A and B are shown apart, each in its own frame.
Chain A
């Protein structure tokens, strides 16, 4: 195993799938010679050519809508939408087109397509139109699978499975994780969609964390060692959601914090808490705490953004707020 960045792992996943399957192509704005605005597709245009790495005008609806049409007609497109925020321009293509075709057309078709896009954060101070975490929006759409890329290992294995999936997949990367390095096997591998990972074992409290907050939770768990024993679980995909692994951890520790960068109201954290409550109610020692973004856009100025976007401090506060801990 070598250390690799998430950026490199995602690039490798794309290259391997382009190489493996002729029906796969990439499509998006600036993904060709420029290599994508986050540099994810660097070198792929040179290696695979303009028919496999398709540069487009700035037109999110056409990128995603055409991918739905291409998926219906024998292709396996991987679309890149620069920021999750811009999925607003293409949401109709998912909620009224790609996500419905299998169902509406009577079941005998599939729409194999992946949309890679970027969640997140306060770290880039990109403000309200370039910082949202919108996986919850797509969890709400039947017919769509939703993946949250975190570690380089996850990102590669899950992206390869997403591309091979016969359903539309929303694949959310996180802008603050692209440069993080982690171990990635030398040989080709995939990870199943729907399997959570126990990132760290613990006995007193379970922190179910997503994307960047996985790393924050691991830092908190390390700092609390000897005082509070924290188990960190990463769902990795939120649709399908590995309820059993999450509930098993909750049954073991009896206390749960869900930490996710979505807006809290009506969001993924609330849903995850509800599913755990259903599965592990009699094992819970305390109400489940949800950490996320309040009903607020993501502001620009660093102190404002830091106040809104959750981090390790918010996770620690939530842990300490749990009764009898």
Chain B
């Protein structure tokens, strides 16, 4: 690691702390799901933490994000509380959405988190709308729109990138290329090499970054966010990353080899950052161990909070369809 200033080293330490928390949250969710404690589907983003943390640490609390159905990392990085997230995964009344959303649709609009989304490629259109709200109100905000490589084949993504370009909207499109759209390799789903070229198509600045490097994601996002805030319109950032787990928990992942997984895990975003921070003398091994212990305790608390929370009353199933009941 090159010489870094104090501000940057503090930031990297905080980014590491957050990535460890995300990893711990999701690892625990995997175990809870395996133990049949969680209803529904669970999609984990283990391996992709540098994208969520790197991008969200480049924006402010009043900025917006849209997410995917692999959205736990984005949610934590946007500042959502692991207690209420975990409670939502348990289907509890005090979860973020009162138990109506589960893992796939967690949202907290007050925190600027416009929703994990079960529809692949839905987020970019919502982000364009947030961009319209921002540009019309004259606010200084931006919206980051996370979507996967699979979503690059969806029409609304392209409509939204085009609209954002035409209107110079303050949106940063962040394609997390985790190499698989559901169970099919990205290269089998797209007829052109690389996603960066899609930015050229819409005449927006585009770059491909190492999605296993929180610094690289942070740098690229910061540049794009600054451009958006200054009226420079949307950008596309393609983050090359990897999904360690299957498409869903329980996916046998027969479509890929263990060697492939091992190769990516050698570049693990948390391990490599830890090593580089220790090598640079910015962090003691003991401090890193403490971070892991702290994350583990924090998630213990979240799980306890969720387990001891009440299930929602069945009558609430019929509430909040409309602002006034019809």
Contact of B125 among A52, A69, A145 (CB under 8 A): A69
Question: Which of B97, B118, B143 lies at the interface centre, i.e. has the most chain A CB atoms within 10 A of its CB?
Answer: B97
B160 and A65 contact, CB distance less than 8 A: yes
B321 and A105 contact, CB distance less than 8 A: no
Given contacts A73-B114, A104-B105, A106-B98, contact A66 B323 (CB under 8 A): no
B109 and A75 contact, CB distance less than 8 A: no
Which residues of B sit under 8 angstroms from A136, Cβ to Cβ? none
B320 and A101 contact, CB distance less than 8 A: no
Contact of A62 among B98, B128, B322 (CB under 8 A): B128
Interface membership of B58, Cβ < 8 A: no
Interface size on B, residues (CB 8 A): 48
Cα–Cα, bound, A63→B166 (Å)? 13
Contact of B132 among A75, A107, A142 (CB under 8 A): A75
Q: Is the interface of A mostly helix, strand, loop or mixed?
A: mixed
Binary A-proximity of B295-326 (CB < 8 A = 1, otherwise 0): 00000000000000000000000011111001
Instruction: Give, as a whole number of angstroms, the nearest-CB distance from B306 to chain A.
Output: 15
Cα–Cα, bound, A150→B276 (Å)? 69
In the complex, which residue of chain B has the Cβ closest to the Cβ of A239?
B326
B326 and A66 contact, CB distance less than 8 A: no
Given contacts A65-B126, A71-B129, A77-B129, contact A106 B100 (CB under 8 A): yes
Which residues of B sit under 8 angstroms from A177, Cβ to Cβ? none
Interface membership of B191, Cβ < 8 A: no
Which residues of B sit under 8 angstroms from A102, Cβ to Cβ? 320-323
Contact of A57 among B107, B109, B159, B326 (CB under 8 A): B159
Which residues of B sit under 8 angstroms from A60, Cβ to Cβ? 159
Binary B-proximity of A71-101 (CB < 8 A = 1, otherwise 0): 1111101000000000000001100110001
A105 and B326 contact, CB distance less than 8 A: no
Interface membership of A36, Cβ < 8 A: no
Cα–Cα, bound, A56→B163 (Å)? 7
Interface membership of A110, Cβ < 8 A: yes
Which residues of B sit under 8 angstroms from A56, Cβ to Cβ? 163, 166
Interface membership of A51, Cβ < 8 A: yes
Which residues of A sit under 8 angstroms from B66, Cβ to Cβ? 69
Q: Which positions 13-43 of chain A face chain B at CB distance < 8 Å?
A: 25, 27
Contact of B133 among A65, A75, A167, A239 (CB under 8 A): A75
In the complex, which residue of chain A has the Cβ closest to the Cβ of B127?
A69
Cα–Cα, bound, A110→B98 (Å)? 15
Which residues of A sit under 8 angstroms from B108, Cβ to Cβ? 105
B136 and A65 contact, CB distance less than 8 A: no
Binary A-proximity of B126-143 (CB < 8 A = 1, otherwise 0): 111111111111000001
A166 and B163 contact, CB distance less than 8 A: no
Cα–Cα, bound, A57→B95 (Å)? 39
Which residues of A sit under 8 angstroms from B131, Cβ to Cβ? 66, 69
Contact of B323 among A68, A73, A110, A142 (CB under 8 A): A110
Cα–Cα, bound, A69→B132 (Å)? 9
Interface membership of B122, Cβ < 8 A: yes
Interface membership of A109, Cβ < 8 A: yes
B129 and A145 contact, CB distance less than 8 A: no
A54 and B167 contact, CB distance less than 8 A: yes
Interface membership of B234, Cβ < 8 A: no
A72 and B105 contact, CB distance less than 8 A: no
Cα–Cα, bound, A239→B160 (Å)? 30
Instruction: Give, as a whole number of angstroms, the nearest-CB distance from B67 to chain A.
Output: 13
Cα–Cα, bound, A92→B156 (Å)? 10
Contact of A69 among B98, B126, B136 (CB under 8 A): B126
Interface membership of A137, Cβ < 8 A: no
A166 and B323 contact, CB distance less than 8 A: yes
Which residues of A sit under 8 angstroms from B110, Cβ to Cβ? 108
Which residues of B sit under 8 angstroms from A106, Cβ to Cβ? 95-98, 100-101, 107, 320
Cα–Cα, bound, A67→B132 (Å)? 9
B136 and A25 contact, CB distance less than 8 A: yes
A75 and B129 contact, CB distance less than 8 A: yes
In the complex, which residue of chain A has the Cβ closest to the Cβ of B128?
A66
Interface membership of B179, Cβ < 8 A: no
Interface membership of B233, Cβ < 8 A: no
Interface membership of B155, Cβ < 8 A: yes
Cα–Cα, bound, A105→B117 (Å)? 11
Instruction: Give, as a whole number of angstroms, the nearest-CB distance from B117 to chain A.
Output: 8
Cα–Cα, bound, A104→B113 (Å)? 13
Cα–Cα, bound, A67→B126 (Å)? 7
Contact of A61 among B98, B134, B159 (CB under 8 A): B159
Instruction: Give, as a whole number of angstroms, the nearest-CB distance from A50 to chain B.
Output: 9
Interface membership of A265, Cβ < 8 A: no
Using CB atoms and an 8 Å cutoff, list the residues of chain B in contact with chain A: 64, 66, 95-98, 100-101, 105, 107-110, 114-115, 117-119, 122, 124-137, 143, 155-156, 159-160, 162-163, 166-167, 319-323, 326
Using CB atoms and an 8 Å cutoff, list the residues of chain A in contact with chain B: 25, 27, 51-52, 54, 56-57, 59-75, 77, 92-93, 96-97, 101-110, 142-143, 145, 165-167, 194, 239-240
Q: Which 3 residue pairs are nearest across A and B when measured between Cβ atoms?
A: A69-B129, A65-B125, A69-B126
